[in-house]
């Protein structure tokens, strides 16, 4: 009897657990908002398992979000849990995919505790590799270094911690500074390296490292000549019919990265994605390789030279100074300053670590990332838009240079761009024209019950608008009256703005909250003319090189247009030349 009771209990427990987990077999559809729009998926389940996931609709960024949507369905089906790693660099698309998946599984009656449990960690298999050069980081700097080193006859392994190459480079415009290049000279540009040194030093408020700037100024031309040459990087850049010292690539930053990645692989480079470099292997003060982990393996990679190209540290709260907390991050998720940690045991010299590039004219996208609004604000201001702060007063010449606008914005608690219908139409034309958002997004954000980002409000009168913004109405009304008074004579206001277009006295009015965003970090490793990483005694650490945003000092406290991407290309090229030369 006792035996029977125990058997019954066991059967009930089994039945109980099965019924708690059992799903209703079938295919369930769900959607969640990704980076650009809805990601819609169909999830097929039997009673216990997810058997298939199909992405039905998506409009994520090609080569970034799309990679997440290619990889995640198989990873989830394999691990039978949602708790697979998000695809680094495509966190928003990954999280949206997981949100839709959670919805579909809930519809199927799944036991969500089971499907959100972490997958069992597998034991890493040890593997040792030998190569000439290891490049850590697959952005523009690392890929340029990799391709150039291969062409110099080196065997190269390139480690990229996320599932795809690209980094910040893939999200950037990709305009590349190229003073002294053949294309710049052919275009009629007459700027010299000395002109450039003066300009970038002025732009960076003299906070630049002079030797680093000089190296960049005199060698960027050769790097650019190489990257466009058929027997060099063969990257499809576009020439200019006007005198020009900077050139854009086909497909912007993402196109340049794609082209370099293909070149790297076709030249015989070993690309290991999803494989972060974790530690430098050091023997008697000299770097002799890298430890890395990925795809179930723990690698020891012995190498003659190592090039650090891990990008910036804007995504690492421990490295970003506290004063940036009130700004919004707009950079790459992989920019966690890994190399800064790797060089700690080597007593490496770090410079300008407190400097991060900030820019005004930014909104926050629903994803929480900062988004530049330059195409919108320029049109809004031309049509009579202006900004007010928490006191409802104007505080700056809204059309002056970015640096000055930012200094004034920093003094505020918050600020709104106030627009009449014409200014709002201009703003939207600029933003939709640059494919930053759609008018369907605007309709959603304007709903009274919309509580997310961006903060966008509308009202029939300025008084009602001010109430929605929680700023004093009389101050906003007075600001508009004074603005229109100056516009009536096409005069110049107390901030130095010449106002030619008044704001309408008729509603509706609109207000979009404006922010300062930060992304590229401007501090980092200190290097010598051969891109060797220096220690605190200003001695080169044997066999250790760097390229790209991981290096500090080239820009000063604000970056000059095209000069960060330009620096990535220059320094990647230069580091590879020096490392290959020192190898032989």
Ligand X SMILES: Cc1cc2nc3c(=O)[nH]c(=O)nc-3n(C[C@H](O)[C@H](O)[C@H](O)COP(=O)(O)OP(=O)(O)OC[C@H]3O[C@@H](n4cnc5c(N)ncnc54)[C@H](O)[C@@H]3O)c2cc1C
CA distance readout (Å), 87 to 54, 80, 112, 273, 309: 17, 17, 21, 11, 20
Nearer to ligand X, 269 or 384 (CB): 269
Task: Locate all alpha helices (DSSP H) within 267-401, ordered by sequence.
Answer: 338-342, 374-382
Q: Using CB under 6 A, which of 67, 330, 356, 578 touches ligand X? A: 330
Contacts of residue 538, defined as CB under 8 A and 6 or more positions apart, other chains included, come to 349, 526
The size of the interface with ligand X (CB under 6 A), counted in residues, is 42
Nearer to ligand X, 166 or 233 (CB): 166
CA distance readout (Å), 326 to 350, 404, 410, 414: 25, 18, 9, 10
Is-contact 417 427, C-beta < 8 A?
yes
Distance CA 238, CA 452 (A): 39
Nearest to 359 by CA among 321, 331, 387: 331
Shortest distance (Å) from residue 294 CB to ligand X = 9
Count Cβ atoms below 10 Å from residue 531 Cβ, excluding itself: 28
Is-contact 430 376, C-beta < 8 A?
yes
Nearer to ligand X, 216 or 510 (CB): 216
Tell me the window of 56-64, 131-139, 417-425, 494-502 that interacts with ligand X (CB under 6 A).
131-139
Question: Mask: binding to ligand X, 548-567, rule CB under 6 A, as x and -?
Answer: xx------------xxxxx-
Nearer to ligand X, 158 or 396 (CB): 158
Distance CA 383, CA 516 (A): 22
- DSSP label at residue 290: E
Question: Mask: binding to ligand X, 148-187, rule CB under 6 A, as x and -?
Answer: -----------xxxx---xxxx-xxx-x------------
CA 281 to chain centre: 29
Shortest distance (Å) from residue 162 CB to ligand X = 5
Nearer to ligand X, 334 or 384 (CB): 334
Shortest distance (Å) from residue 397 CB to ligand X = 24
Is-contact 384 573, C-beta < 8 A?
no
Of 271-310, binders to ligand X (CB under 6 A) are 276-277, 309-310
Nearer to ligand X, 139 or 221 (CB): 139
Tokens standing for residue 441: 């997004």
Of 63-122, binders to ligand X (CB under 6 A) are 89
Of 345-384, binders to ligand X (CB under 6 A) are none
CA distance readout (Å), 305 to 150, 370, 528, 577: 13, 37, 16, 12
Rule CB under 6 A: is residue 269 a binding residue for ligand X?
A: no
Nearer to ligand X, 73 or 331 (CB): 331
Tokens standing for residue 45: 């389940």
Shortest distance (Å) from residue 430 CB to ligand X = 17
Q: List residues near ligand X by CB under 6 A.
A: 89, 136-142, 159-162, 166-169, 171-173, 175, 253, 276-277, 309-311, 330-332, 334-335, 338, 519-520, 548-549, 562-566, 568
């Amino acid at each position: 009897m006792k035996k029977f009771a125990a058997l019954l209990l066991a059967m009930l427990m089994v039945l109980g657990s099965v019924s708690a987990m059992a799903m209703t077999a079938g295919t369930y559809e769900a959607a969640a908002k990704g980076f650009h729009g809805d990601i819609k998926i169909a999830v097929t389940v039997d009673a216990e398992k997810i058997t298939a996931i199909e992405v039905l609709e998506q409009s994520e960024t090609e080569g970034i979000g799309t990679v997440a949507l290619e990889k995640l369905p198989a990873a989830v089906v394999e691990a039978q849990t949602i708790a697979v790693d998000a695809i680094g660099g495509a966190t928003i698309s990954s999280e949206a995919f997981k949100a839709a998946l959670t919805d579909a599984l809930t519809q199927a009656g799944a036991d969500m505790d089971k499907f959100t449990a972490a997958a069992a960690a597998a034991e890493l298999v040890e593997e040792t590799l030998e190569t000439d050069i290891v490049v850590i980081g697959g952005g523009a700097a690392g890929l340029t270094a990799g391709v150039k080193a291969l062409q110099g006859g080196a065997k190269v392994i390139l480690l990229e911690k996320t599932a795809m190459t690209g980094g910040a480079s893939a999200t950037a415009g990709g305009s590349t500074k190229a003073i002294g290049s053949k294309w710049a000279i052919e275009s009629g540009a007459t700027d010299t390296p000395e002109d450039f040194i003066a300009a970038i030093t002025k732009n960076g408020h003299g906070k630049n490292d002079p030797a680093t700037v000089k190296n960049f100024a005199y060698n960027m031309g050769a790097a650019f000549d190489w990257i466009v040459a058929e027997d060099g990087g063969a990257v499809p850049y576009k020439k200019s019919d006007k005198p020009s010292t900077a050139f854009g690539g086909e497909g912007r930053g993402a196109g340049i990265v794609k082209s370099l990645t293909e070149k790297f692989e076709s030249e015989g480079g070993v690309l290991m994605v999803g494989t972060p470099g974790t530690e430098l292997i050091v023997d008697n003060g000299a770097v002799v390789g890298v430890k890395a982990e990925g795809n179930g393996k723990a690698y020891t990679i012995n190498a003659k030279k190592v090039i650090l190209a891990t990008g910036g540290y804007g995504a690492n709260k421990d490295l970003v100074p506290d004063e940036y907390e009130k700004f919004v991050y707009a950079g790459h998720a992989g920019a966690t300053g890994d190399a800064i940690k790797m060089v700690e045991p080597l007593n490496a010299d770090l410079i300008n670590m407190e400097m991060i590039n900030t820019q005004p004219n930014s909104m926050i996208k629903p994803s929480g990332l900062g988004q530049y609004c330059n195409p919108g604000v320029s049109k809004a201001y031309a049509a009579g838009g202006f900004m007010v702060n928490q006191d409802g007063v104007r505080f700056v010449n809204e059309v002056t240079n970015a640096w000055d606008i930012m200094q004034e914005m920093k003094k505020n608690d918050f600020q709104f761009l106030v627009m009449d219908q014409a200014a709002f139409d201009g703003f939207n034309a600029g933003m939709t024209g640059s494919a930053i958002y759609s008018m369907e997004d605007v309709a959603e954000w304007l709903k009274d019950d919309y509580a997310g980002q961006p903060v966008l409000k509308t009202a029939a009168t300025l008084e009602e608008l001010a109430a929605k913004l929680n700023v004093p109405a009389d101050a906003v009304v007075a600001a508009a009256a004074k603005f229109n008074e100056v516009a009536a004579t096409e005069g110049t206001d107390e901030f130095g703005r010449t106002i030619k277009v008044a704001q309408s006295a008729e509603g509706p009015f609109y207000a979009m909250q404006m922010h300062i965003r930060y992304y590229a970090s401007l501090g980092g490793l200190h290097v010598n003319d051969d891109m060797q990483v220096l220690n605190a005694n200003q001695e080169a650490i044997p066999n250790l090189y760097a390229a790209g945003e991981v290096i500090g000092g080239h820009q000063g406290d604000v970056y000059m247009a095209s000069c960060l991407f330009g620096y990535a290309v220059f320094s990647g090229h230069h580091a590879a030349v020096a490392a290959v030369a020192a190898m032989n």
